[in-house]
Amino acid sequence: MIATAIAFYLFAAITVAAGFMVIAARNPVHSVLFLILAFFNAAALFVLMGAEFLALILVIVYVGAVAVLFLFVVMMLDIDFSELREGFLQYLPVGALVGIILLIELLLVLGAWVIAPEAASIAASPTPAITDIDNTRALGHIVYTQYVYPFQAAGLILLVAMIGAIVLTLRHKPNVKRQVIADQVARTREQAVEMKKVEPGQGL
Amino acid sequence: MTDILVAYGIPLAIIVAQSLALIVAILLVTAYVLLADRKIWAAVQLRRGPNVVGAFGLLQSFADLLKFIFKEVIVPAGANKGIFLIAPLVTVTLALSGWAVIPLDAKLVISDINVGVLYIFAISSLGVYGVIMAGWASNSKYPFLSALRAAAQMVSYEVSIGFVIVCVLMTAGTLNLSEIVEAQKTVWYFIPHLPMFAIFFISALAETNRPPFDLVEAESELVAGFMVEYSSSTYMMFMLGEYVSILLMCAMTTILFLGGWLPPFDIAPFTWVPGIVWFLLKVFAVFFMFAMVKAFVPRYRYDQLMRLGWKVFLPFSLFWVVLTAGVLVGFDLV
């Protein structure tokens, strides 16, 4: 147990420190890199809890894809961040409000476990023991049977968001040269080559 | 206290020793794979390749190593020093850490985890950070442009690699790499999944920035890509990371499609050969194809690369996922 405890405190401490540095770092790119560090250590915490599937999905989706886009945007933006930082404290009330609401919600969720421990046992699909079934299978059983409609709805919402983003940014410019592979392949010798007889001294 | 030392110290020492042995082995193999790459490329072009240091140039990689190490590390004045130096370390560490779950033979693996495929996928998707960090921290135009291109390329091809992996693991019914190999006892997956094998091979080329998709380096357009500002050891670490991840991708191709350590026929003369020999033979065969592609195929243009990834591979591999699932359920093979 002691090794698990040491590992937990190590990863947890790095996660908290990295989370603090996300808002404390002067350079926005450093902020994003600290955010990535925080994600990565959160994944390590998942592994310690035996949720290896969630841990790796967290790394693949958030670190491998979402954070890359973050980093892209932050690198490309040409914003004077010191100027942005000046009115920093005026957002404090809103930020504190959001933080407090999140804290209360987390307490409610976790509190239910403490106040009513029997609540977990009467859940519709109880979590099978890790020794019985690996958690990839366990998640699959729940997500694709009992919660298949919410799962599909979530997918549909993401699809709508994606199509919306494409519609908003797609511009058809008439004067842009585009490569159409089918046209290139369909070209015949007659269309492409023209034979000219050049008289000496005349040119074309 | 002694109980704790015995309970945790010995397994820790064992795992450290195993990891060190594996790393040394990988680095040695990498040195010769690098030489083989240059020799094959030279042979295709009717040149001799490196042949001066040692017999047949066998010590060339080590000479290069010494050359890189004894040169000065130059950090550009405008560079973001910390990130500039971390980037090559990230690349090498990630490339090496992927090998922790690769089964070289039955039971010959450092960490036989349940989600081995996902782990490899996660590690290779993190490889993009080495590139982005290097390009940004150099604080120079060419590396930055190149890093943006490289990042877009690597992220794009990960998507189709993901779908290819989904096909294989649906057929095998597991995410564990050893079990995926065992599931190929009847037939190696490159036969039922031949188009996916091709897509995985090409995507692996793009993911590791090998020619014909080496737009990251693209000597003729971007100087040396995101590595322009790097010199000596830091440059060497990028090259090392690149070749180790190429070997990792060869190993993944072997495990997912070519039956890992399994012999081609499960009969007497073939089963006498130990599994690790078959595994290495297959890895080197795949690497030979990597090297030949480098010698044969001209570099892709950037828009063609993106078109291939998003408009050809992605829809086709998505279709193949549905087809595989349909066949597995329809013929009750699950």
Rounded to 10 deg, the angle between the B232-257 and B60-69 helix axes is 140
B73-87, B146-160, B279-293: range with highest mean pLDDT: B279-293
Q: Is a pLDDT exceeding 70 seen at residue A82?
A: no
Percent of chain A residues topping a pLDDT of 90: 32
Per the domain annotation, does A62 fall within a domain? Answer: yes
Phi and psi at A180, nearest 5°, equal: -110, 105
d(C-alpha B99, C-alpha B246), whole Å: 12
Per the domain annotation, does A26 fall within a domain? Answer: yes
Q: List chain A residues with CB under 8 Å of B121.
A: 56, 60
Domain hosting A52: range is: 2-80+122-191
pLDDT band at A137 (very low <50, low <70, confident <90, very high): confident
* CB nearest B115 (choices: A3, A56, A63): A56
Percent of chain A residues topping a pLDDT of 70: 88
Least Cα distance to B310 among B216, B192, B206, B167 occurs for B206
Digit-coded pLDDT (tens) for A5-20: 888 999 999 999 999 9
Q: Is a pLDDT exceeding 80 seen at residue B44?
A: yes
Q: Maximum distance among all alpha carbons in chain B?
A: 65
Digit-coded pLDDT (tens) for A92-123: 889 899 999 999 999 988 887 777 777 666 66
- In a 3-state reduction of DSSP, which class is residue B108? strand
Number of structural domains chain A divides into:
1
pLDDT band at B32 (very low <50, low <70, confident <90, very high): very high
- Please give the DSSP secondary-structure letter assigned to residue B105: B
Q: List chain A residues with CB under 8 Å of B175.
A: 136
Per the domain annotation, does A37 fall within a domain? Answer: yes
Question: Does A137 lie at the interface with B, CB-CB under 8 angstroms?
Answer: no
Q: Is a pLDDT exceeding 70 seen at residue B58?
A: yes
ipTM tops the 0.90 cut: no
- Does A64 sit within 8 Å of B126, measured CB to CB? yes
Per the domain annotation, does A73 fall within a domain? Answer: yes
d(C-alpha B200, C-alpha B198), whole Å: 5
**Counting one residue from A and one from B, how many pairs have CB atoms under 8 Å apart?**
61
How close B137 gets to chain A, by Cα (Å)? 10
Q: Is a pLDDT exceeding 80 seen at residue B221?
A: no
Residue numbers of A between 23 and 42 with CB closer than 8 Å to B: 27, 29-30, 33, 36
Per the domain annotation, does A109 fall within a domain? Answer: no
Per the domain annotation, does A6 fall within a domain? Answer: yes
Per the domain annotation, does A198 fall within a domain? Answer: no
Q: Is a pLDDT exceeding 80 seen at residue B269?
A: yes
Beta bridge partners of B108: B105
A138-142, B33-37, B50-54, B141-145: range with highest mean pLDDT: B33-37
Question: Does A71 lie at the interface with B, CB-CB under 8 angstroms?
Answer: yes
Q: What is residue A87's predicted lDDT score, i.e. its pLDDT?
A: 67
How close B125 gets to chain A, by Cα (Å)? 5
Q: Maximum distance among all alpha carbons in chain A?
A: 102
How close A109 gets to chain B, by Cα (Å)? 29
Q: Is the peptide bond between B269 and the residue preceding it cis, with omega within 30 degrees of 0? A: no
d(C-alpha B243, C-alpha B99), whole Å: 13
**Percentages (nearest 5) of helix, strand, coil residues in chain A:** 75, 0, 25
Torsion region of B106: left, alpha or beta (phi above 0 gives left; psi -120 to 50 gives alpha): beta
Per the domain annotation, does A89 fall within a domain? Answer: no
Candidates B129, B133, B145, B154: best to mutate against A (most CBs of A within 10 A) is: B129
pTM above 0.90, yes or no: no
Percent of chain B residues topping a pLDDT of 70: 98
- Tell me, rounded to whole angstroms, the distance of Cα B290 from its chain centroid: 11
Digit-coded pLDDT (tens) for B102-149: 998 888 888 888 888 999 999 988 888 888 898 888 888 888 888 888
Query: What CATH number is associated with residue A48?
Result: 1.20.120.1200
Least Cα distance to A140 among A158, A125, A160, A154 occurs for A125
